[in-house]
Each structure stands twice: as structure tokens, then as C-alpha cells.
Amino acid sequence: MQIEISGIEIDVQKKNIKNLHLAVVPPDGKVRVSAPTHLSDESIAMFVRTKLSWIKKQQEKFKKQSRQCKREYVSGETLYVFGQQYFLRVEYSYKGNSLVLEGNEAILTVRKESTSKQREAFVNEWYRSLLKDKIEIYLPKWEKITGLYCNSWQTKYMTTRWGTCNTNTRKIWLNLQLAKKPIECLEYVILHELAHLKVRNHSKDFIAIMDKYMPYWRETQKMLNDLILDYYSEEQGSN
């Protein structure tokens, strides 16, 4: 079940245990509580209130976790495409922008007077196109495997979540940064969000779905959460 205290959503799981356990987990600082089955909801809420200061400190740490420096989109910088590292080489032309991968290079062709902001906008739309192509392959794959289907999906730059879903509208959002991570990370997030269409929280029923369809999901989750996040511009949108 879920409770909300001071604007913070708490996932609560009641188990056959003796003591309360509280955790704030990456990447987005979700709060999870494991509680003895006999403990009342009021007692659990009271316990969480005593830990609010600690919870907020932990969540703040996740918000400040290591991120790559802001890019200027000049030759010598690095770009990652589905886990593969490329070295950026900038060339100039007035015939239109392009980004082509050749060997270990990402060749970005832009106008010489273009700003870093304009280059960033183009590169992010290039990433969005790549990610959409992969989602159109892997989302139907996992929908067919699980029998869980979403009504719609979008890509969106997110600072703390790899994916999210609205269980009422059955709409899924996937973080644009997944275009830079290994493809197995995208598959894990897709399955994760599809599983939420059936189970809203991270209860044992949710875990059972993940275990059934992706027994190695914990290793993939750890790999994804350990990967560095990009510099984030508040102007990134969704599509």
C-alpha cells in the first residue's frame, strides 16, 4: 500500500518480520517501509514522521548525485549512445545539421556560428529519434511477453526517474537519457513500468512479475542506478 506524509509518497509492505525497516532508494529517492503485519497504519505513519528529516537528506543526496559536466558540443567531448562511447568531432556546413557515427567518432555537422544551446537542442532531438526507434521495438516485445499493454507512451527528460507511468490513463514516460545507456537498461525500465500497470507499488506481487519475466533485473537495476546522469537543462521537454 501507499501512504503520503508531508508530501512524500511512502511504499509500505507488511511482512512477517519483527522490526520496522525504512529505506530511501535510488535513483529518485523513493521511500519504502517494511513493517510487521500486526503493526497499524497509524503506528507506521508515526514512525515515518520521526524520520522525515533523515528521509529528506537522503533524497537531497540523490538529487545532487554525480552528473556529467555541461557540454559545449565542441570537438573532443564524449557522447554515449546505448552504452557505447564516442568522441565528438564538430564540422561546419550551411547545408543542414547532422550527426553521424563513424568508428569511435560522432561527427556533428552544424553552422559555425551555432551556439552550444542550439547544438544541444539538435543532439537531444537526434537522441529522441534513436530512443523512439528502440522503444517501438522493445515495448511491443515486452507487452507481448507479459500481456500488459499501455495506451500510449512518450519520451521525456527526467532528473531523477528513468521511467514513470500513470496507471489510470495507462500512459508511460521513458527518460530520454536511456538513449545513452546500455539497451538492457531500456528493456528493464520498460518492463518495470509495464509491471506497474498491474501493481501500482513495489509489493511482493510487483517483485514477482519482475522475477518471472526478467530474473536478472536486480543486476540491471544496479547497473543503471550506478551510471552517471547527464547535466540537466530545465528547458528539456517531452515528445
Packing angle of the helix pair 217-226, 183-196 (nearest 10 deg): 110
**How much is the pLDDT for 236?**
42
- Predicted TM-score (pTM) above 0.75: no
Task: Output the nine-digit C-alpha cell for 188.
Answer: 528493464
**How much is the pLDDT for 29?**
76
**How much is the pLDDT for 104?**
93
Q: What is the mean pLDDT of residues 23-31?
A: 75
Q: Which of 17-21, 25-29, 66-70, 207-211 has the highest mean pLDDT?
A: 207-211
Cα separation, 207 vs 198, in Å, equals 12
* Residue 62: pLDDT band with limits 50, 70, 90: low
**How much is the pLDDT for 235?**
38
**How much is the pLDDT for 230?**
61
pLDDT at 227 over 80: no
Domains of the chain by residue range:
2-63, 78-226
Q: For 129-148, how does the pLDDT look when each residue is reduced to its tens digit (9 = 90+)? A: 999 999 999 999 999 999 99
Nearest alpha carbon to residue 108 among 135, 68, 81:
81
* Residue 24: pLDDT band with limits 50, 70, 90: confident
Cα separation, 77 vs 219, in Å, equals 29
| CATH of 78-226 among 3.30.390.50, 3.40.50.2300, 2.30.110.20, 3.30.2010.10 | 3.30.2010.10
* Residue 223: pLDDT band with limits 50, 70, 90: confident
Task: Output the nine-digit C-alpha cell for 185.
Answer: 537498461
Nearest alpha carbon to residue 81 among 176, 199, 164, 215:
176
Task: Output the nine-digit C-alpha cell for 18.
Answer: 519483527
Q: For 171-190, how does the pLDDT look when each residue is reduced to its tens digit (9 = 90+)? A: 999 999 999 999 999 999 99
Cα separation, 139 vs 122, in Å, equals 25
* pLDDT > 70 in the chain, percent: 90
Instruction: Report the chain's terminal Cα–Cα distance, integer Å.
Output: 32
* Residue 205: pLDDT band with limits 50, 70, 90: very high
